[in-house]
A = this chain, B = another copy of it.
Amino acid sequence: MTAVLIPNDSEFGIDNLPYGVFSTAEAAERVGVRVGDSVVDLAAALGDTIFDTASLNPFMAQGRNRWIDVRRQITELIEADAVPANALHDLGTVNLHMPFEVADYVDFYASEHHARNLGRLFRPDSEPLMPNWKHLPVGYHGRAGTVVVSGTEIIRPSGQRKVPAQSVPDFGPSRRLDIEVEMGFVVGVGTPLGTRINPDQFAEHVFGAVIVNDWSARDIQAWEYVPLGPFLGKSFATSISPWVVPMLALEPARIDTPLQDPRPLPYLREQRSWALDIDIVVEWNGHEVSRPLYSAMYWSPAQMLAHITINGASSRTGDLFASGTVSGPEQEQRGSFIELTWDGTEPIAIGDDNRTFLQDGDEVVITVSAPGSTGRRIGFGEVRGRIVASKSS
């Protein structure tokens, strides 16, 4: 039995306990919990084979009472200094993998500041916010098979590009490769066809949250997206953080959404909001470029899930839905480079360089934290990605 060292300033104390999937030189992929700078092997620590697998899905499907019980068991082991020595690994010695199998992936568009900015950039001749935007959380399905874990190299996509001066599109690597800083939410307990999830049932269904970088090729997207929405401009890669922070740990982060006017239809009303007070920092090649303001998001994740299922669509363990780009009202709170550089017309300084969109070799790191229950903050860790050249053109 061993004591787990938790540094005083750690964002991974016992009020956090995020879940992930790790492997070591000796052992194949399995479920672990991060505590301080250690990873606790749950199959070894709790003697439960449901954790001896390369995915959180079986555990997530067991439901909220079980999530509460396992969290209590882990807490007790740590507080009693009773973690078996063979269950404890230094974070630096493990490899982290995709924490869950993605079933369906939905991406929303829930920041009013982002929607207004992109409306101005993509449709300069029209009202930036569409008439439906304040009545429903606008969203669409993305590609589940290309959700990858932090650290996966991002291969620059090629595709059809057309700038207004061209009469026909040409083909080649994207020249306007961008990020979208988002938060994602993972369904643990799904629902059958013909049923709905009320916003107040959110915590019964949603297991936890991750950081999302929804990489976007703006030139491909701008040409392809009418009338059926973004497709290849997004589907080449979406990165998520390796640690899934339980919604149970995020109770202290709950706040109200901004005033929603007009008042949403009854199916979108929450008794107590699941809006969240989350801090985000974006670094581009090691230089901080933005602090997107999650607390300003117009729609809460509970409203998003209620909307996904209001038509009777089923939901499944592993469904991932993301908030859409997090942008606040200020320039330094924008969550994409197309916004930060205003369509590439206002380059930003990255050390000695000026940048508009991503160059090969560039690396973006998004770091996230939230208020915890102990007065310290709880961390989501980071989502990291480096751009590599298009494989051919």
Residues of chain A at the chain B interface (Cβ within 8 Å): 103-104, 106, 109, 119, 122-123, 130, 132, 135-136, 138-146, 148, 152, 155, 157-160, 162, 168-169, 171, 193-195, 217, 220, 223-233, 235-237, 262, 265-267, 307-308, 310-316, 319, 390-391
A-B contacts, 18 listed (Cβ < 8 Å)? A104-B144, A106-B231, A138-B224, A139-B228, A140-B230, A140-B231, A155-B194, A155-B312, A159-B310, A168-B262, A169-B265, A217-B311, A225-B227, A225-B229, A227-B229, A228-B229, A232-B307, A232-B311
CB of A131, distance to nearest CB on chain B (Å)? 8
CA distance A237 to B231 in the complex (A): 21
CB of A181, distance to nearest CB on chain B (Å)? 18
User: Inside 8 A of A140's CB, which chain B residues have their CB?
Assistant: 140-141, 228-231
The answer to whether A158 touches B311 (Cβ under 8 A) is: yes
Q: How many copies does the complex hold?
A: 2
Q: 8 closest A-B pairs (Cβ-Cβ)? A: A229-B229, A157-B311, A141-B141, A140-B228, A228-B229, A232-B311, A236-B311, A155-B194
The answer to whether A224 touches B146 (Cβ under 8 A) is: no
Given A236-B312, A312-B155, A313-B232: A265 and B171 within 8 A (CB)?
A: yes
User: Inside 8 A of A227's CB, which chain B residues have their CB?
Assistant: 119, 122-123, 130, 138, 225, 229
User: Inside 8 A of A141's CB, which chain B residues have their CB?
Assistant: 140-143, 231, 235
CB of A366, distance to nearest CB on chain B (Å)? 20
Main secondary structure of the interface of A (DSSP, over half): loop
The answer to whether A319 touches B231 (Cβ under 8 A) is: no
The answer to whether A146 touches B195 (Cβ under 8 A) is: no
Nearest-CB residue, chain B, relative to A118: B227
CA distance A168 to B131 in the complex (A): 9
CA distance A311 to B159 in the complex (A): 6
The answer to whether A143 touches B232 (Cβ under 8 A) is: no
The answer to whether B313 touches A146 (Cβ under 8 A) is: yes
The answer to whether B230 touches A228 (Cβ under 8 A) is: yes
CB of A303, distance to nearest CB on chain B (Å)? 13
User: Inside 8 A of A152's CB, which chain B residues have their CB?
Assistant: 193
Q: Which of A141, A152, A195 has the most CB of B within 10 A?
A: A141
User: Inside 8 A of A228's CB, which chain B residues have their CB?
Assistant: 109, 138-140, 225, 229-230
The answer to whether A223 touches B313 (Cβ under 8 A) is: no
Nearest-CB residue, chain B, relative to A123: B227
Given A104-B145, A148-B193, A267-B171: A132 and B226 within 8 A (CB)?
A: yes
CA distance A233 to B135 in the complex (A): 15
CB of A211, distance to nearest CB on chain B (Å)? 20
Q: Which of A122, A142, A231 has the most CB of B within 10 A?
A: A231
CB of A32, distance to nearest CB on chain B (Å)? 25
CA distance A193 to B145 in the complex (A): 9
CB of A381, distance to nearest CB on chain B (Å)? 22
Q: A103-B145, A140-B141, A225-B228 are in contact. List 11 more A-B contacts (CB 8 A).
A: A132-B224, A136-B169, A139-B228, A140-B140, A141-B231, A144-B144, A145-B319, A146-B314, A157-B312, A232-B310, A232-B313
